[in-house]
Chains A and B, each alone.
Chain A
């Protein structure tokens, strides 16, 4: 359990560095091409890793056996990306960060209770405390920037 928690924390750190790299890509290539680079490199690299890790015997049957709707993940990702491009210029960064977080957590709680069945009152309280901490910190740092 401690291992998974640490991994989740590291993933958050990696997400920030990844965002900074992606941002610099978009400075060179524009917003769309800069994001496309990420997808193209990741597709090629995943394919190589898939082939090598399966020792050149990719189980194509398992791809067909997976329910079709599980493949919608990439679609949701692109929808989120396009929305964030449209809204980012119209909302301030803090507002959009908090709204994204609220959307993630609300949907997350719904999925957890419907799909994974692992939500409890204490967990819910903890999630609310984390959200409150993020909002509070956001207001502090924003006030600091305005001064």
Chain B
């Protein structure tokens, strides 16, 4: 049951990405980012007030953590732009490759004060397989 729900959540993310890229064609990148975050934010407030009965408080963090919003804009704008040319599935594949590489690098060097996990050479064939898949996609 939870597995199915998670599968569905992944589908929602793909749906969101394709809808955003189409919305961008109508209202531009910042208009799209505004509507996506405004609607999402209002729904989250509704959920917190009506269902979770939680107080809203947004202060009391180190200032640099507020850059979360900047990343939010960057991610929707860039993904909508890429999806227009690449399509959702190819974009997802390349994005995942990026996520895996940067995660391995961050773990290896212990950036952002995460515990250091040296890169395991056994993982090289996995990365090569992913690279092969990406090459195949881009030759198509």
Query: How many A residues face the partner with a CB closer than 8 A?
Result: 105
Say yes or no for A146: interface residue by CB 8 A criterion. Answer: no
Cβ–Cβ contact A47 & B34, under 8 A = yes
**Chain B hits for A1, CB < 8 A:** 85, 138
Set B74, B82, B102, B125: member contacting A8, Cβ < 8 A: B82
Q: Which of B72-104 contact A (CB under 8 A)?
A: 72-75, 78-79, 81-82, 85-103
Q: Which of A38-53 contact B (CB under 8 A)?
A: 38-47, 49-50, 53
Query: How many B residues face the partner with a CB closer than 8 A?
Result: 101
Nearest to B78 among chain A residues (CB) is A11
Shortest CB-to-CB span from B74 to chain A, Å, is 6
Interface residues of B, dominant DSSP? helix
Interface readout for A89-129 with B: 1 if CB under 8 Å, 0 if not? 01100011001111111111101100110111011011111
Cβ–Cβ contact A12 & B99, under 8 A = yes
**Chain A hits for B138, CB < 8 A:** 1, 5, 126
**Chain B hits for A16, CB < 8 A:** 98-99, 102-103, 106
Shortest CB-to-CB span from B10 to chain A, Å, is 2
Cβ–Cβ contact B134 & A126, under 8 A = yes
Shortest CB-to-CB span from A8 to chain B, Å, is 4
Interface residues of A, dominant DSSP? helix
Nearest to B129 among chain A residues (CB) is A133
Nearest to B20 among chain A residues (CB) is A73
**Chain B hits for A20, CB < 8 A:** 112, 114
**Chain A hits for B22, CB < 8 A:** 70, 115
Which of A22, A37, A62, A65 is packed against the most chain B CB atoms within 10 Å?
Answer: A37
14 further A-B contacts with Cβ under 8 Å, apart from A29-B60, A77-B16, A107-B13, are A1-B138, A8-B91, A14-B71, A28-B65, A32-B47, A33-B56, A36-B56, A39-B40, A42-B33, A101-B92, A106-B10, A108-B89, A130-B97, A134-B100
| 17 CB < 8 A contacts A-B | A11-B98, A12-B94, A15-B99, A36-B48, A39-B41, A39-B72, A42-B69, A73-B20, A77-B16, A80-B16, A91-B3, A101-B10, A104-B14, A108-B89, A122-B137, A122-B140, A125-B136
